[in-house]
Chains A and B, each alone.
Chain A
Amino acid sequence: MTNPLTTFEGAVIGREVCQGHIVVTQDDIDSFCRLMGYDDPAYRAGAAGGAVAPTSMCLTYGLRLGWEEDVFPPGAIRMGDENVYGVAARAGDALTTTLTIVDRFERKGRRFLKYEMTTTNGAGETVCTVAFTAIVP
């Protein structure tokens, strides 16, 4: 069931909706690299300084939080992104992602919500901020 505070009518703009925690594992990185065809040694176990996750993998953290916390309504259609990439995530990093609804508007009879997910590492450094606008039912 969709969280009522995340519906078009109930969303509180600018208030944090939820927070999630995830530890990046080498298995996660390996799975993502296999799926998308990344083969740089920097992604592999044993890389100097620790394996890094491909930047595009950080897009999944906010998505996962939004779906697991029932923030995104089924049938939501993503229309556009505004993303900022920070320090790389590494295997073993404990990441925290916060999700906020930052805008709400109607256009041509359709209703839109803009979600912003910011992921930080254990040192408080920003890994990525992913903001996307979606048509919501």
Chain B
Amino acid sequence: MTPSDPLPPNEITITQEMIDEYARISGDFNPLHVDVEAAARTPFGGTIAHGCIPMEPIFKVVQRIIGKPVMPAGSRMSLRYLQPSRPGDTIRLELRDDGNDAAAADLVFACVNQRGDKVIEGRCTLG
């Protein structure tokens, strides 16, 4: 990827139904994710998405860029969750190549919600 390459468009819109289904698939039924009434009584004021859900655009975009259905073996990803994502949020990816070695792209990314708030930031080094 070079700075002149267009980034494949990708975003994810989070719904409570999506969160509930992710809970079923992952077994993560943390009340913060799936119990609307209980979550409303927490400082979050409502349910929040599993952290893996707003991460999805990074996988999709990277895999599309490299033309493979999975990340190359040896790929590394480090990230911080800056804010929770909630039902109704649309998360889009901002990505830039921060590496000098074309064979081992070093991608800096941010997942940003519809208000422009960064919810995740991180780095992905392809194997």
Residues of chain A at the chain B interface (Cβ within 8 Å): 28, 31-32, 35-38, 40, 42-43, 52-56, 59-60, 63-65, 67-68, 72, 74-88, 132
Contact = CB atoms under 8 A, between A and B. Distances in A.
B59 A56 contact: yes
B25 A74 contact: no
Nearest to B58: A56
B77 A80 contact: no
Nearest to A89: B70
Contact of B27 (A67, A80, A83, A85): A67
Interface of B, helix, strand, loop or mixed by DSSP:
mixed
B74 A64 contact: no
Given A31-B21, A72-B30, A85-B70, 15 more contacts: A35-B22, A36-B60, A54-B59, A60-B52, A63-B28, A63-B50, A64-B26, A65-B27, A72-B28, A74-B30, A75-B32, A80-B80, A81-B51, A84-B77, A85-B127
Interface string B104-124: 000000000000000000100
Interface of B: 12, 18, 21-22, 25-32, 50-52, 55-56, 59-60, 63, 69-81, 122, 127
A81 B70 contact: no
Contacts of B80: 79-80
B36 to A, nearest CB: 16
A77 B85 CA distance: 13
A31 B107 CA distance: 29
A63 B69 contact: no
Contacts of A32: 25
